[in-house]
Structure 1
Amino acid sequence: MSKNIPIFHDFEFMNPRKFDLSPINGPFYKTKVKDVLSPHRHDFYEIFWILEGTGTVHIDFKEYTLQSQMLCFISPGQVHGWSFTREDQPLRGYLLKFNNELLTEYGLSFNASDEGYTASLQPIYHINNEQKEFFNGIFELLYRECRIALPRGDEAVRSYLRLLSIEIYRIQNQMEMTHQEERTFQLTQAFLNLVEDHYKERLNIDNYAQMLFVTPNHLIQTIKGALGKTAGEIIRNRRILEGKRLLRFSTLSVEDIATLIGFVDPSYFSRAFKQHTGLSPTRYRILH
């Protein structure tokens, strides 16, 4: 990390519970202590719960547009800065700060691990209306604990942070499931398109996987999960379908049809065709 990027240590301004939550009403970055617009980093976590407003946050060389109902999560060590234009609306919401020491004391984690209550963090989370009510409630409760020394406060903070980590984990898990479904659909569609273009060629699964830039095992598992059939079955079924068409609507010999649709051995085509249809190619032609 470049020495030119400052590290800000804000915990001397926090309460003894090693966390701080403050409301955001307007330009939170206007401070005499430091310049938070320029690239910098912290040794603690920051979670911005943005209810209203717009702007841009730069995190590890990527830009993210801020908008209402959004969580912005900045982990320790991430280089980040902010930019706002005259057209941007003032931000309103909450800023939560806490460090690893607090998480260790409470037995919590916001880093990727195998723990049950762990969030695999992304910088930005878009929040729907149902989730908005949850985050409003949690941040308001944490703000109360920050302002007032109530009985069993540490226990309350621990519970609220645990609920926060669980909810972020759920959102991230749903995002990963959605992205996985999208990737599965895209790969399946791309495979089917390739089969349509190349089924007459003598290509195997490795050839298709190479064209799709995935491993053969990944392709096989994806197609099996999406279509309930193996990739090999998809290719073979497409060849058999073309064989049916040619047997019915052409005068080509069985041997020529087998060669045309990618079977090296006509006898293998005949066996595969009979296994698929229950009829030999010759019998199928007679009956259809």
Structure 2
Amino acid sequence: MAGLSKDPFAAPDRVELRTLAQLAQRGDWQLDLLHDRSHHLIIWITRGQGLALLDGVRRGMGTHNVLFVPAGTTLALELGRPGFGQALVIPDATELRLPGQAHHLRIRDVTAQSELTALFEALHREQTNARPLLSEAMEAQTALVSVWLRRQLALDEHTPKPLKAANRLSRAMCRRIAQEFRSGAPMADYASALGVTPTHLTRACKASTGKTAADLLTDRTLYEARHLLTFSDVQVQDIARYLGFGSAAYFTRFMQHHTRHSPTELRKLKPAKGAAPSAGTLRG
């Protein structure tokens, strides 16, 4: 959509290291709400506990957990305030070898934990010092992270368990939402496309994610709306049309119901107290 020009954390053209606080700089909604990104993420949690809704399945998260989130994969992440994590942001067009699907790993081996921590520290040093050939150095370090990740995935302890039927249906729904949430299609159309009844779809999504199918669609729409209101100058009526709403008035009622603010008010909101400052030295 034209007009997205102010987002300092839009899809990068090079590998970058960011903290989770920086990914949610303009509010927790940037991580809490279901969304998908046009770049890959490798997230390393080193403190705290929380929940991740990754590719249609809700998972408990804790210290020394890794998430690999391919471009276009749905994600919602809630990490408690004492928590800390970092994310490698990797352009979709990268030539780096990465896994072909999303993964959540619990790293229990102390040596493996130390190895990944050392790699992230090396990335931070490179980005902070901003020496010549920075992009090349960041890509080389990220290649080592990819090797570490693929070695972990080769271990028996990280072999994915077969998904239950509800998980498979929820995953299919989240993938369809990522592609079609702007269409304004009713829930019955999503269920029909997936070959199930709306009731069955809602039950499966609730069992897999803790949210109904309608909740998931609402979250994705809310994320896009807030993103456009925050990082663009696109007119409210154009955002409403882009997101499949019949009118700007209906869009305004939707936003007020779910956020207690009108689109105009949301556009004026400042970052929440305690939000991270701009990436600064972390961006090199």
TM-score (norm 1): 0.47
TM-score (norm 2): 0.48
Q: Higher relative contact order at CA 8 Å, sep ≥6: structure 1 or structure 2?
A: 2
Of structures 1 and 2, the larger Rg is shown by 1
